[in-house]
Structure 1
Amino acid sequence: MRLRRAPLMSLLLALGVSSADARVRLGEVLPAHPWQSAAREVVVVYSHDCGDLGPLWQAVLDSGLPVRAVNAEGVTSPAPGGLSAWQGEAATRFSRDLKVSAYPTVLLVQEGRILNAWEGDFSGALE
């Protein structure tokens, strides 16, 4: 029998083991956005040139938390089925106000404040 971690714990472990140098500041309030905030949620900020984000999207979706997709930098790139990506100038401004240094960026947000941040390439397995 194979033991599996709880999905949220797996996501937190993956986000916490980043080699990227995040400039997003923990504890800051999210900039203005078009969605109604949840008590705890995951925000994925990405662009068209991130490559294959399939494993990252799966890990985020498996967290069990509401997921917000932000497609920045003006070139449309779809989010996985069931997610509607926020796009356009306002989405890019959101990314820049956060001081995102690399796409994709994944934020764990609690009550509107950034609890954890991860930026860069995702190549880890969440098993």
Structure 2
Amino acid sequence: MRLRRAPLLTLLLTLGVSAADARVRLGESLPAHPWTAAEREVVVVYSHDCGDLGDLWDAVLASGLPVRAVNAEGIQTPAPAGLRAWDGEAATAFARKLRVGAYPTVLLVQGGRILNAWEGTFTGQLE
């Protein structure tokens, strides 16, 4: 029998296994954004040169939390069906105010503050 993780636990494990050093500061408030904040949400900041993010989107969407897609750096790249990506200069300014060091960056946000951050290439492996 194969052990299955709960979607939120899977997301937390994904965020906790980081090969990159996040420059985003935990505990800080999110910069201004165009969406209505939820109590707990996931923010994915990505750009056109991230490659295939299918596995990452699957893990994030399986969390059951509201997901916000931020497409930075000026080249439109679609988010998965059902998600509307915020893009343009304001989205890039948002990423820079966060001090994103690598795309994609996934933020777990609670009460408007960054609870956890993960930056870098997602391989689909949690362990």
2:79/2:85 contact within 8 Å kept: yes
How far apart in 2 are the matches of 1:17 and 1:104?
Answer: 14
The letter of the residue matching 1:71 is N
8 Å contact 1:59–1:126 — kept in the other structure?
Answer: no
What's 1:23 paired with?
23
Which amino acid in 2 is paired with 1:84?
R
Distance in 2, matches of 1:125 and 1:59, equals 11
Tell me, in whole angstroms, the C-alpha distance in 1 between the residues paired with 2:24 and 2:31.
12
Q: Counterparts of 1:104 and 1:125 in 2: how far apart (Å)? A: 15
CA distance in 2, matches of 1:108, 1:74: 24
Alignment RMSD: 1.1
Tell me if 1:85 matches 2:85: yes
Output the TM-score relative to the length of structure 2: 0.97
Query: Which residue is 1:116 aligned to?
Result: 116
Gaps of at least 5 residues in structure 2 are: none
In structure 1, the gaps of 5 or more residues are none
1:94 maps to amino acid: F
Q: Any idea what the Cα deviations from partners look like across 1:25-61, whole Å, max 9, x if unmatched? A: 0000000000000000000000000000000000000
- Please, what TM-score do these two structures have when normalized by structure 1? 0.97
Question: Structure 2 matches for 1:51-70, cutoff 5 A?
Answer: 51-70=51-70
- Contact 1:45/1:71, CA 8 A, preserved across alignment: yes
1:2 CA drift (Å)? 2.3
